[in-house]
Amino acid sequence: MPVAFDVRNGQKALFDALIDARDKYGAKKPILEDQDRNPLTYTDLIRASFALGRKIAAITEPGEHVGVLLPSGAGSVVTFFALHAFGRVPTMLNFTAGLRNIKAACRLARVRRVLTAHKFIELGKLHDIVDAVGETAEVTYLEDVRATIGLKDKLFAAAAGFFPRRFRAHAKPSDPGVVLFTSGSFGAPRGVVLSQENLVQNAMQVAAHIALNPDWVMFNPLPVFHCFGLTGGVILPILTGMKAFQYPSPLHTKQIPPLIKDSKASILLATDTFVNQYARAAETDELSGLEFIVCGAEKVRDETHALLRERFNGVPVLEGYGATEASPVIAVNKPLDNRPGTVGGLLPGQEVRIEPVEGIAEGGRFFVRGPNIMSGYLREDGGVDAPEGGWHDTGDVITMTDDQWITIKGRVKRFAKIGGEMVSLTAAEDLASAVWPDGRHAVISMPDKKKGEKLILVTDRPDADVAPLVAHAQTIGAPELAVPRKILKVQEVPVLGSGKTDYVAIQRMAETDTRAA
């Protein structure tokens, strides 16, 4: 059974929550592992955090925003908690965001030092990123830091491992827990400050919504610069007694399925795109041991549900919904109450408000408030803009049932006005997905002299044509206005490092194509 949600249980600093989890589940319980297969217990993680954190503290200031440029792995998790042990603020840098956005993130968060690893930079060929951040910040390599850890540091870490509350920097639940940057799928990324309580509360909300077994293993191939990967793949399992298995890239389609089996994973955290690829590449016994899969960041296709149902003993795919500003989980389906087409039930402890949107008959603009909602957006002057009245405007148009199950109708920005009618671009994408389920599709709108706006389908299907879209729309009774009349065929539909569709890049592609025509 899920645990009851009590907001008071999550009113704590993050490192204190880690210590509480150690006390609850046992100091010697293995809690963290990656592809190197050297599992760490709670005590190992705490000691490593103090040993590394002491060295980082010597070259940084209390409260400083310290950049973290690392893939998912035991090293990034230790670094995250090491910063917390000494009162520094992890500022997670998205190494897939492009040089301009990475530099802008460092400027906005006033990052003076960036932590990374030689091995990561060499393997990823990311020297241009190091050069870019090095223009305004000092780049420190963790291998070099670890090489300086001597006997005094080890003795300190050993003592701190026995008495962590005496040695850790004092922190309030309201203190910054992390600085993350929004995905930028619809515009420039924004700096989001989540408090320590935000992160702890969101983990507690999920645990109150879905029954989690401390004997389970959470397999996380998602990046820790993405809130879904950080909270869902690291903080949630570690605070609830599950082993957090970290993998450095979701793109390794052939390597991940056998490792899921070998690590005895119980839960896989991913996006629809990646799950679909794993399911196609996997042997039948490689995913069938999972209790369930949790998908976020993009809509889960019917094809993905069908693949898992037919090939892997009906492993449920639970679609969820969130936002970086909400730490991130707002809603998620349950293993025993999975309603495909929805993004699940609202997590406990949140209030919602649904406001009507002119021209949109069904649903409304979704606002949410709760203990998981961010401290605010970073300002250029170093301050934080808190959400007004604690309410976060998601920008999404939703419908919600009486028992608080949510269906996303689209983003407010993702509606076009065609001939005076509001048309959902998300619904237009669904048409394409129904006709060509194994393709990737994105629909955008552009100005049109006759009808105000027009829809353009960008797809990786070389045989895509308007006629099957019209026929399917007629079959299901969808309005013809929702059928894109122009199709732009591309080799690959751009996606962000998080797996989300990159609508900014797609808009540019369509504009370039229009100018060329």
Phi, psi of 377 (to 5 degrees): -90, 140
Q: What is the pLDDT of residue 420?
A: 59
pTM: 0.85
Q: Which two tokens stand for residue 461?
A: 């299907």
Residue ranges of the chain whose pLDDT lies below 70: 1-2, 183-189, 412, 417, 419-422, 451, 497-499, 514-517
Q: What is the pLDDT of residue 120?
A: 94
Q: What is the pLDDT of residues 445-489, one digit of tens each?
A: 887 777 677 888 999 888 888 888 888 878 877 777 778 888 988
Tell me the three state secondary structure of residue 308: helix
Q: What is the pLDDT of residue 9?
A: 86
* 345 closest CA partner among 398, 293, 300: 398
Q: What is the pLDDT of residue 2?
A: 64
Q: What is the pLDDT of residues 208-263, one digit of tens each?
A: 999 999 999 999 999 999 999 999 999 999 999 999 999 999 989 999 999 999 99
Residue type, 375: S
CA 333 to chain CA centroid, nearest Å: 16
How many residues make up the chain in this entry? 517
Burial class (CB in 10 A: 0-12, 13-18, 19+), 214: middle
Taking the C-alpha atoms of residue 205 and residue 10, their distance in angstroms, rounded to an integer, is: 9
* 40 closest CA partner among 84, 92, 77, 65: 77
328 upstream amide cis, omega within 30 of 0: yes
- β-strand pairing of 452-459 with 329-332: unpaired
Taking the C-alpha atoms of residue 30 and residue 38, their distance in angstroms, rounded to an integer, is: 10
Which class in CATH covers the domain with range 25-174+213-249?
alpha beta
The superfamily in CATH containing domain 419-516 is ANL, C-terminal domain (3.30.300.30)
Q: What is the pLDDT of residue 497?
A: 67
Q: What is the pLDDT of residue 360?
A: 77
Q: What residues form DSSP beta bridges with 89? A: 65
**What is the dihedral angle through the alpha carbons of 96, 99, 105, 111, rounded to the nearest 10 degrees?**
110
As a three-state string, the secondary structure of 35-83 is CCCCCEEHHHHHHHHHHHHHHHHCCCCCCCEEEECCCCCHHHHHHHHHH
Q: What is the pLDDT of residue 421?
A: 65
Q: What is the pLDDT of residue 437?
A: 85
Q: What is the DSSP letter of 337?
A: B
Q: What is the DSSP letter of 136?
A: T
Q: Which two tokens stand for residue 320?
A: 């969820």
Taking the C-alpha atoms of residue 308 and residue 21, their distance in angstroms, rounded to an integer, is: 33
Give 170-221 as a DSSP string.
P--TTSEEEEEE---SSSS--EEEEEHHHHHHHHHHHHHHS---TT-EEEE-
Sorted by sequence, the CB contacts under 8 Å of residue 124 that are 6+ apart come out as 71, 95
Q: Are 5 and 218 in contact (CB under 8 A)?
A: no
Q: Are 97 and 184 in contact (CB under 8 A)?
A: yes
Taking the C-alpha atoms of residue 2 and residue 21, their distance in angstroms, rounded to an integer, is: 17
Domains of the chain by residue range: 25-174+213-249, 419-516
Taking the C-alpha atoms of residue 191 and residue 386, their distance in angstroms, rounded to an integer, is: 12
Phi-psi region of 514 (alpha: psi -120 to 50; beta: other; left: phi over 0): alpha
Residue type, 415: F
Q: What is the pLDDT of residue 294?
A: 96
Tell me the three state secondary structure of residue 274: helix
- β-strand pairing of 384-385 with 376-378: antiparallel
Q: What is the pLDDT of residue 498?
A: 62
